Amino acid sequence: MTRILAAPPAHSHLRPVPGRSGIPGIGHVLEYIRDPLAMMQKHWDRYGEVSCFSAAGRRWISVLGPDACQEVLQNKDRAFANGDGWSALIGPFFHGGLMLLDSEEHLRHRRIMQQAFTRSRLEKTVGAMNPSIAQKLDRWVPSDGFRAYTALKTLTLDLATDIFMGGAEDSTPAEIEVVKKAFIDCVQAATSIVRYPVPGTRWKRGLDGRRVLENFFRHYLPARRSRETDDLFSVLCHIESEAGQRFSDDEIVDHMIFLLMAAHDTSTITISTMMQYLGQHPQWQDRCRAESLALGTAAPSHADLDALGSLDLVMKECLRLVSPVPVLARRAVRDTEVRGYFVPAGTYASVAPHFTHHMAEYWPEPERFDPERFAEHRREDKVHRYAWEPFGGGVHKCLGMHFAGVEVKAIVHQLLLRFEWHVDPGYVAPLDFTSLPFPSDGQPVDLRLRSTDPDRQAV
């Protein structure tokens, strides 16, 4: 065992954090990319809730289990910074996003942005989202081995462009493809081993991608400033907090880059996971479809989506099985403790909801798809306040989680009305954790049009 953190002060009641440093210069990055859950399980088995490791030339602690996660995320003594933690991974690419801010700056930005995610605005968003989803699904060509993740990634980014931006009115399809690639490059740069702008590296591609995105949003900013519409870009240009605070141009660009990444990447993996498990469990696909058909519309309202109870159970179970954000990053800004272990200032913390979601202590048969876990008669997610935390916790809990739920259910609702699909029961998605998790094979499903026209069924 090699400890890489400082020992506790003399006469301290705190324990030193155990752990191992990993491969010199690389640490545990490759081990994480290969199988993060196996890496976390190894740390849990050897060291317990808190252990140390190295990654990207930095000292980290692994924070595992709901008690330890709760302690760091609630951050009652304000010893952990959110922005400092994430900046080590994605700061050069997503700086200024709400997730990378702290203290009074975070509070100011959050108070303004809350005005963009009120229920009344979400209701308008659903109204605009439905025809856009339908238009994009019209382009799908069902087949055996249809690459669902690949198609969904295009759909959700196009949808984000429509709903968040109000469209990209003078951009060509080729330019939009460049923007899509820029988002991917920025996200994948987070786990770069070489973290310098060396040509050909993920880090350099991420930096180049950030410049592409900045230029893209700045091009449209004057038009969005000049007239308020319902799209998020325009809303961010015009909303203000109750105290009258507003975003600057630079802040709007920073938030749009981060929000579009977050809105389409996390939703894509969640819908893709739902398609996989609904394809492997036809009884659940039939159950969800029956509820969607019972709505009598292909263009549901916000309240209609709330009524899709089975789909909600499936979504929550898929968020448990494949956490779109497997770990949350923090950094200790002063000496502190976690679960009785001494954590010196400057230490980075990897808080792992993904591991908690697979702990048999809280989730019986954790690898089994079982949406009833979240049903009122069971509510396994209530056995611990932090047993299920796909949107994080504390003051940095995801502000857009309700939007995410609306988007996911609106898309899957239309999928259920239009299509039937099958996935081999033995299929295991080959998840790539180079950035946020995604199936490296594009998520093949055998997709078929439903025999009855969905428009006729939905009236």
Max Cα separation, the chain? 75
Residue 451 tokens, joined: 């025999």
Cα dihedral 408→68→66→360 (10° resolution): 120
Inter-residue contact 231 to 251 (CB < 8 Å): no
Euclidean distance between CA atoms 393 and 203, whole angstroms: 29
Q: Where are the beta strands (DSSP E) in 303-443?
A: 328-332, 336-338, 341-343, 348-351, 419-422, 431-432, 438-439
Inter-residue contact 278 to 311 (CB < 8 Å): no
Residue 156 DSSP SS3: helix
Inter-residue contact 449 to 419 (CB < 8 Å): yes
Q: Is 398 labelled as part of a ligand binding site?
A: yes
Start-to-end CA distance of the chain, whole Å, equals 65
Euclidean distance between CA atoms 298 and 131, whole angstroms: 9
Known binding positions: 398
Known binding positions for heme: 398
